Structure 1
Amino acid sequence: MKIAIIDDEKYQFDILKDTCTEYGNNNNIKIDTDYYEDGNVFLNHLNNNYSICFIDIYMSAINGIDLAKKLREINKDIVIVFVTTSSDFMAEAFSVHAFHYITKPYEKEKIFQVLTDSIAILPDVSHYIQIVCDKKNIKLKIKDLVSCESDAHYLLLTTSDNAELRVRMTLNKFIEETKNYEELIQINRGIIINIDYLDKIDNSNCHLTNGTVFPIKVREKKSIENKINQYIFCKLRKQSNI
């Protein structure tokens, strides 16, 4: 996800950039931030495909409100978040369909919440892992990953469109890179599944929605089932906003 920060005070950019980077690291989302101290220069770089734009209202070259008005004439979909030391321009800010209005000094929790809310409405933001398959760099979305099987120094990754990707990576490396994704669970030595594609569990096997059947580690079956049920419960709770 690409973020533009327009603020004529560089140290304010540094604070916001560090916060966005921390959020990305915590949530396995690659976030790139670009800095512009002049709004007019930023307008000349809109082909960089920014998803979110943090705009300071009080700037010398062009103020944030006027910049947002010009931006809206060019891009109606970009998420605009105003940052300022005062709430005086709040009504005018929302006249250009700003997504949020944040006052300085920054509070990390508020920035995190704005990023979470923004990602929820952005169609092009997905969690993914970077892999190399057939000498090609591929960004594999976690939501498209069905299962992972270990084969010596390789992994066989199955996707939701029934593709099979053979990747040179150890299982331990894969586990480290995907440790924050609760939908992925190891059910046996060398086997990881995506719970979102789980059909059922019988006495000794996990059945996936694509018809694949994997053996489950019997001695840890109860623990595995508890983790699966906890994930499903939390997902349903989020979906129903309980």
Structure 2
Amino acid sequence: MRFAIVDDNIEEIHMTELLIRDWCGSHNITVCCDTFTEGDAFLLSAASNSYDFVLFDIYLKKANGIDLAVSFRKISPKTPIVFLTSSSEYHVEALHVHAFDYLQKPITKAAIHPLLDDLLAVRPVLDSHLFLTVNTNKTKLPILYSDIQYIISDSNYLIIHTSEEIRCRMLFRDVTRTLSEDERFLTINRGVMVNLDYVSSMDGAVCMMNDGASFSMNKKQSNTLQQTYITWQFTQRTKSLLHGGLS
């Protein structure tokens, strides 16, 4: 899971991050925390990165956290937002940007851990709204994670396969750094990342996609990659059974 914390108090950022990492560790969840002391830097990052959860301090030195959240909503309408503050003065304004919650400082384990439990419970619904923003023909194009089938590196360009082929100037390591936080995506060889939802089989050192494409997998890691795919299949089947999706 990828979090963003926007707060101009470095000590409070560190404490909040420690509490998040503690919770993620107890749930065996891989975590990435991006921290920002200025709103402009956060908005620049949010334009090209997808976050599972964003925490805003309301009382920032150079900006109001509510106004920053309004700007963020134009980029990401569905990402859960939590406001951190020592006052309840802006509680009504927080509701106007559809805040997920509102926590009083100082943030404690007893307060934030149940909140993160609630976030995890709704995350399957939120996943469908995650998107990657790429630059193509001088235009920013948002691509839903769920639409990405596989990505191939081509020098300083990427070829992103959805229902169509999208070519953009972007480094493979940059996009995979973002997507690898999502358990659906797996790098199977140098310059090749696949969405496990679109994999039909992994046999030996070959990965077959639903559209008929095939890729050689890293031979040294092929057993680990196949086990990851098997685990993914089991997890999805279990979810389907729990929701009555299989008979």
Counterpart residue identity of residue 120, structure 1 = V
Deviations 1:16-72 (A, max 9, x none): 4452697499356xx543211122443454433343432122333323123223434
SS of equivalent to 2:69:
helix
* Gap change, CA 1:157 and 1:44, over 3 Å in 2: closer
The question of 1:174 aligning with 2:225 is answered yes
CA positional deviation for 1:80: 4.4
The SS at the match of 1:173 is helix
Structure 1 runs not aligned, ≥5 long: 185-194, 197-230
Match of 1:157 in 2: 207
Mapped to 2, the partners of 1:96 and 1:48 lie a distance apart of 21
SS at match of 1:165: strand
How far residue 6 of structure 1 moved from its aligned partner, in angstroms, is 0.4
Q: Does 1:139 align with 2:141?
A: no
Q: Is the 8 A contact 2:5 2:33 kept in 1?
A: yes
User: SS where residue 99 of structure 2 aligns?
Assistant: coil
Could you tell me which amino acid in structure 2 is paired with residue 144 of structure 1?
Y
1:81 aligns with 2:86: no
Distance 1:172 1:75, change over 3 A: closer
**TM-score computed with the length of structure 2 as normaliser:** 0.58
Matched-pair contact (CA < 8 Å) for 1:5–1:34: yes
> Does the CA contact (< 8 Å) of 1:3 and 1:32 recur in 2?
yes
CA positional deviation for 1:91: 2.4
Greater shift, 169-178 or 15-24, is seen at 15-24
Partner of 1:63: 64
How far off its partner does 1:140 sit?
A: 1.3
Letter in 2 for 1:98: A
Give unpaired runs (5+ residues) of structure 2: 131-144, 146-181
Q: How does 1:122-133 map to 2 (within 5 A)?
A: 122=127, 123-124=129-130, 125=145, 126=182, 127-132=184-189
Q: Which of residues 183, 188, 202 in structure 2 aligns to 1:148?
A: 202
Matched with 1:236 is: 241
Cα distance in 1 for residues equivalent to 2:42 and 2:70: 13
Pairing 1:179-194 to 2, within 5 Å after superposition: 181=232, 183=234
Q: CA deviation at 1:182?
A: 5.2
Q: Which stretch of structure 1 is more off in the superposition, 3-12 or 76-85? A: 76-85
Question: How many angstroms apart in 2 are the aligned matches of 1:117 and 1:32?
Answer: 19
Amino acid at match of 1:26: N
- Asked if structure 2 preserves the Cα contact closer than 8 Å seen for 1:40 and 1:62, the reply is no
Shift of residue 95, structure 1, vs aligned partner: 0.7
| SS of residue in 2 equivalent to 1:181 | helix
Distance 1:147 1:32, change over 3 A: same
Tell me, in whole angstroms, the C-alpha distance in 1 between the residues paired with 2:118 and 2:196. Answer: 22
Q: What are the superposed Cα offsets for residues 113-147 of structure 1, whole Å, 9 maximum, x if unpaired?
A: 32552452243355221121xxx522211212222
Secondary structure of the 1:92 match is helix
> Partner of 1:157: helix, strand, or coil?
strand
